[in-house]
Amino acid sequence: MDVVRATAKRARIQNEIERLINEPLPIVYERIAAQYPADEHRGRAELANQMQALEPNQIHEQLMALNWPTVLTTNYDNCLELASGNKFATANLASESTYSVFRRKRSNGGSLWHIHGELSGPRTMMLGLHEYSGYLQKIRQYFTTKVMGSPFVYGAGRENIEDVRHSWGDLFLRDNVHIVGFGFGYAEIVLWWLLAYKQRLRFWKGLACGQTTVYQMGNIAKGDKGRLELMQGLGAKIRYISSDSGRPTRKTWDKVIEMLKRERRN
């Protein structure tokens, strides 16, 4: 939201954008980027520069202390890497200049994927509808084309994905996935498509796909009830964590961390 406001101010249309700020942000951002490309490029670079100063907090540290072999993040920053205390090295599985289908980092046998792009490449950061739609096009082509396509869907098998070129999407489909601290709004068209495709693979191809679990902290807003029901209809399990304040708090995060610890042990 901050980058939308900052870029709108640079383009001198902040009053108009402020009236639209509660609409899906990728579309609002596209309103600016489509008409003011120079301001958009400068705003993107400034955002990446500002986020370099971000430091990890206790939640980052607790999440990384769980030592999951695979971590997917929609954050652009490096807080998770810093929180782990380990040194991560770039280990991309294909060359990409814009999207992040094969972009990953490795450390001590584990992998971390910035699926919405990262600070080291401002062009990779998913911000506007143009990027989201292009990303979905690339992901869908990868999973629906046999030649150089998904090893999970077209042949390597569950246990052999890591032995060949694969994407984070293959791991999302194959493995049990635990989603925390992510709103999963309707603008997240790539993740919605993958969630739906995961269900299709179960029922259409009989593939043994992993379980997707979403951790919902705090009260459910009126507009969120249908969204959560849709996730369940697409095969996701919703785990509800109550909060005295109705919002995510330190206490609710502690509950989520304990739940994840139990899952990690199983």
CA distances from 112 to 165, 171, 245, 260 (A): 16, 12, 33, 17
Per the prediction, the chain carries an average pLDDT of 92
Is it the case that residue 153 has pLDDT exceeding 70? yes
The rounded percent of the chain whose pLDDT value lies above 90 is 70
pLDDT digits (tens, 9 = 90+) for 79-98: 999 999 999 999 999 999 99
Give the list of residues 6+ apart from residue 221 with CB closer than 8 angstroms, or none. none
Q: Please check the confidence at residue 174 and state whether its pLDDT lies above 70.
A: yes
Per-residue pLDDT at 157: 64
| pLDDT, tens digit (0-9, with 9 covering 90-100), for 175-219 | 999 999 998 999 999 999 999 999 999 999 999 999 999 999 988
Can you name the residues that pair with 114 across neighbouring β-strands? 73
Q: Indicate if the pLDDT at residue 21 is higher than 90.
A: no
Is a pLDDT exceeding 70 seen at residue 55? yes
Q: What would the mean pLDDT of 9-16 be, rounded to a whole number?
A: 86
Q: Which residues contact 172 (CB under 8 A, 6 or more apart)?
A: 72, 194, 198
pLDDT at 219: 86
Average pLDDT over residues 121-148: 94
Residue for token pair 């999302």: 172
pLDDT of residue 244: 82
Residue 47 has pLDDT above 90, yes or no: no
The residue among 94, 92, 115, 117 whose CA lies nearest residue 105 is 92
* Confidence band of 173 (pLDDT split at 50, 70, 90): very high
Question: Distance between CA 164 and CA 104 in Å, rounded?
Answer: 14
Which phi and psi (to 5°) does residue 174 adopt? -75, -40
Please check the confidence at residue 160 and state whether its pLDDT lies above 90.
no
